[in-house]
Amino acid sequence: MSILVLGGAGYIGSHAVYQLIDQGYEVVVIDNLQTGHRDALHPKAHFYEGDIRNREFMRSVFQKEKIKGIIHFAANSLVGESMVEPLKYYDNNVFGTQVVLEIMQEFGVKHIVFSSTAAVYGEQRVMPITESAETKPTNTYGETKLAMEKMMAWCEKGFGIHFVALRYFNVAGARGEGVIGEDHDPETHLIPVVLEAALGKRPAIIVFGEDYDTVDGTCVRDYIHVEDLIEAHILALKYLQNGGESNYFNLGSSQGFSVKEIIETAKAVTQLDIPVQMGERRAGDPSTLIASSDKAKQVLGWNPSRTSIEQIITDAWNWHKHHPNGYQK
Ligand code: UDP
């Protein structure tokens, strides 16, 4: 029996595949390689190239493999892009998940762990954010992830699936040995963009707004190491397999860092000068997002161990400096 990783050639998905295989799981990967990379695939995973929205393709994989659980990362995830191409997000994220759930029903697969996001919360007054906070996304990306969560909840009532929605805060870092890491084209996430500026791959890091109501006027985010994040996914899978009820968990470090603080830490880690330019606010950005992850710790027994921002940036840097062009040889 195998675990199916949807989006297993992507940044976060590939880290999941590596950890699952480390822990002795049989792993099947589906990825359309739209943003994923063939070189990020673990050699031991059974790989099927295709799109989760293609029912025939999905059916053919479920007919060949014995799938007992799914971890779902196959989605578009850029806040800025989601504001100008909203329907791309409804199609890939919402419709894609609909097809996944249809196939789960058809093949009697009961457990799914999936990537949700802090973006479901939108602008909140009370920090840290707990899972009981009202969901009110400020961007299409967050709205589609919330729709995916709700679709799963209705499918639970309809035909008895069980799901865990993991609401990620800002994921960064890379697997220790630097074999896999973050490689998006275009790259928009803060830490890799700052490291690209350190490498001279872009002229400067543009800070999106310095007039927010925060410590230094720049947005505050809660950064979590990708390896800690994946540990929570595997615990969530075990939780479902042990009969745990459907649930929602925040995954973050419960600490906030401003954009300027991230840039300063990156300067210290890389020992390089990083040119900084002030820019306009980016549409859809809430000013502050900080998680309370107590629930994941209590219910899943999650115990993140790579919580310092220096370590997160050091591990990301280890990947970037050895792979300045990402997976491209
Ligand atoms: N950010 C920035 N310049 C960049 C990329 C990001 O100032 O080139 C800011 C962005 O406005 C946000 C924070 O960094 O406040 C984190 O953005 P990212 O896109 O990494 O993640 P998000 O919080 O949108 O999921």
pLDDT tens digit sequence for 38-61:
999 999 999 999 999 999 999 999
The 10s digit of each residue's pLDDT in 230-244 is 999 999 999 999 999
DSSP H/E element including 144: helix 140-159
What CA–CA distances, in Å, run from 163 to 1, 40, 79, 110, 230? 19, 26, 24, 8, 16
Ligand 1 binding pocket, CB closer than 6 Å: 79, 170, 188-190, 193, 205-208, 219, 221, 259, 282, 285
Architecture of domain 2-172+223-251: 3-Layer(aba) Sandwich (3.40)
Question: Which residues have a catalytic role annotated?
Answer: 141
Q: Which atom of ligand 1 is nearest to the CA of 284?
A: 24
Domain 190-221+254-322 in CATH 3.90.25.10? The answer is yes
Residue closest by Cα to atom 1 of ligand 1: 190
Residue closest by Cα to atom 20 of ligand 1: 189
Three-class DSSP category at 317: helix
What ipTM does this complex have? 0.98
Q: Which atom of ligand 1 is nearest to the CA of 205?
A: 8
% residues pLDDT > 70 (the chain): 100
- Mean predicted confidence (pLDDT) in 97-116: 98
d(CA 91, ligand 1 centre) in Å: 24
Query: What does residue 154 show for φ and ψ, rounded to 5 degrees?
Result: -70, -35
Residues 36, 13: Cα–Cα separation, whole Å: 9
d(CA 283, ligand 1 centre) in Å: 11
d(CA 189, ligand 1 centre) in Å: 6
- Does this model's pTM top 0.80? yes
Domain boundaries, the chain: 2-172+223-251, 190-221+254-322
Q: Which atom of ligand 1 is nearest to the CA of 259?
A: 14
Residues 6+ apart with CB under 8 A from 210: 216, 217, 218, 260, 278
Domains 2-172+223-251 and 190-221+254-322 share a fold: no
d(CA 27, ligand 1 centre) in Å: 32
Rg (CA), the chain: 19
d(CA 51, ligand 1 centre) in Å: 28
Residue closest by Cα to atom 10 of ligand 1: 208
Residue closest by Cα to atom 14 of ligand 1: 190
pLDDT band of residue 132 (cuts 50, 70, 90) is very high
The 10s digit of each residue's pLDDT in 159-206 is 999 999 999 999 999 998 889 999 999 999 999 999 999 999 999 999
Residues 72, 95: Cα–Cα separation, whole Å: 13
Residue closest by Cα to atom 11 of ligand 1: 208
Residues 25, 224: Cα–Cα separation, whole Å: 24
Q: Which atom of ligand 1 is nearest to the CA of 218?
A: 15
Structure tokens that stand for 4 in this block: 């199916």
Test site for ligand 1: of 168, 214, 282, most ligand atoms within 8 A of the Cβ: 282
